[in-house]
Structure 1
């Protein structure tokens, strides 16, 4: 493979995915209980969720330019081309760190081609874009072709999700303190989506089951054809719910493949345990 695909840990791909797809992954940092951890490396997401249920409030920071410089240098020294697909720039400064690092690497290796794409995606929606790019790279497509196809794929990736506790969105500045309090009191389940890389509230549904039913209605409204798609479901340590929803996808829409992954520490620190997110293409 002459094109090396690079991603960051906000893609929520498992280590087995990283190895199978021959990816280079750089990690965001998670601060938990006074310690710094590398997301996906030395902190299990479940450990973080358990601590959050006990009252911990983890924080995150972007991938450093140095981490990107190390990754890009490795690719350049090997004589390969690189495509870094980035976590939404509207949710993290990681994309800008990559831009800074590329300029440094190109000073030493001016002939190296390093493309950087702001996917404007998050969690497994972002991960599915990375997966698609890696598969194209393994097929031997050119850097230009992979960049174009993965960019299109990212532009049409839908993210529909709900959280179990509005408190975490409040801490991240996504909802007001009053909305968080009243939502919890009234058992409101917010449904949100990602638009131009930003988290945008869609609807407020009272009751978990009703919220899941409404999510599937939204999927039906927005998807053109799900039968041939790889659909993603990510969850905040509620795998049993994710598995149930995957079966609904298969029976209601005829989806042949549903990829289920836990929301990683970097994203989950802001969405909290109990999160359920659905990812699919709105246009093939």
Structure 2
């Protein structure tokens, strides 16, 4: 039976409990505030970023995991038959490229471009962990994950475009227009890139409720073993409400609620929420 280690970037947004349950190791991306560099969700938390943005009107910069960081990570697990590392999508960060370069130093490291972010990648990580627990070898797991990647449906609704504006991902005019018209856009990950989907109007709570129904209602193509509700600091009440709506529309066996890491939160801002699942 193969002994396989599963690792991933901090941006997979898995909870500490889930990481411990499956013995998954993570490597943090970096957050740069002024001249200080912090490890995502280790030395700095999302609320620190919101406080900084509010105070300065600026966003921190984010930086990829370095080649050396990956070499250090993979070196720790050389007593395993293989290491499977799941990366933040290649279009979002140079982390995948760096992990790929680091893997050249070893004979037993498989690097996966998740083509996704947050718990879109998290689904792939958990699938890898379950296959490893079942005793499959690295090649089999790698191939299964490649089949799974296009079946991940990741999307989320933003409360504000201010963070995308500060990060240079949308114009001041777009952000102002959305704010004026109370528009809450749904962002979807399609073919490894972010795209704007449906636009909701009104308060964030109502917009999120409509979005969840739109995503799940009357669909028979959804794999109902697991769903993530991932948020960037929403109220307990809203999260519980979303969980209820999710289960009203699809019989998911496992509902995992996770909070987005600093890297993800710094791009989407507070009160963002998404339901992320797999299709059949």
Return the TM-score normalized by structure 1. Answer: 0.90
Match of 1:144 in 2: 139
Alignment partner for residue 115 of structure 1, among 110, 113, 125?
Answer: 110
Query: 1:156, 1:281 within 8 Å by CA — same for their partners in 2?
Result: yes
> Would you say the 8 A contact 1:31–1:58 is kept in 2?
yes
> Per the alignment, in what secondary structure is the counterpart of residue 159 of structure 2?
coil
Q: Deviations over 1:5-52 (max 9, x none)?
A: 110101011223222211121110012354211112222233333444
Structure 1 unmatched runs, 5+: 107-111
Residues 10, 80 of structure 1: alpha-carbon distance in 2 compared, 3 angstrom cutoff: same
Partner of 1:153: 148
The partner residue of 2:265 within 250, 257, 268 is 268
Corresponding residue pairs, total: 275
Matched, 1:11 2:6: no
In 2: Cα distance, 1:220 partner to 1:176 partner: 33
Query: TM-score, normalized by length of structure 2?
Result: 0.91
| 1:116 to partner: Cα distance | 1.0
Match of 1:175, SS state, is coil
1:67 is matched with which residue?
69
The answer as to whether partners of 1:158 and 1:194 remain within 8 angstroms in 2 is yes
2:81 and 2:239 map into 1 onto residues whose CA distance is 38
1:279 maps to which residue? Answer: 276
1:238 aligned residue: 234
Name stretches of at least 5 consecutive residues in structure 2 with no aligned partner: none
CA-CA distance at 1:225 after TM superposition: 3.4
Alpha-carbon distance in structure 2 between the residues aligned to 1:211 and 1:11: 22
Q: Decide whether the 8 Å contact of 2:209 with 2:245 is kept in 1.
A: no
**Could you tell me how far 1:56 is from its partner in structure 2?**
5.1
Q: Are the counterparts in 2 of residues 49 and 237 from structure 1 also a CA contact under 8 Å?
A: no
CA distance in 2, matches of 1:276, 1:253: 18
The residue that corresponds to 2:128 in the other structure is 133
Contact 1:124 1:232 in 2 (8 A): yes
The answer (yes or no) to whether the contact 2:186–2:199 under 8 Å persists in 1 is yes
Question: Which region of structure 1 is more displaced relative to structure 2, 62-71 or 34-43?
Answer: 34-43
Q: 1:6 to 1:246 in 2, by over 3 A?
A: same
Alignment of 1:194-273 (within 5 A): 194-207=189-202, 208=204, 209-220=206-217, 224-226=221-223, 228-240=224-236, 241-273=238-270
Q: Indicate if the aligned counterparts of 1:52 and 1:272 stay in contact, CA closer than 8 A.
A: no
1 CA distance for matches of 2:6 and 2:150?
Answer: 18
Distance 2:217 2:23 in 1: 34
Cα distance in 1 for partners of 2:212, 2:243 equals: 13
The answer on whether the counterparts of 2:58 and 2:166 sit within 8 Å (CA) in structure 1 is no
Question: The residue matched to 1:281 in structure 2 has which SS?
Answer: strand
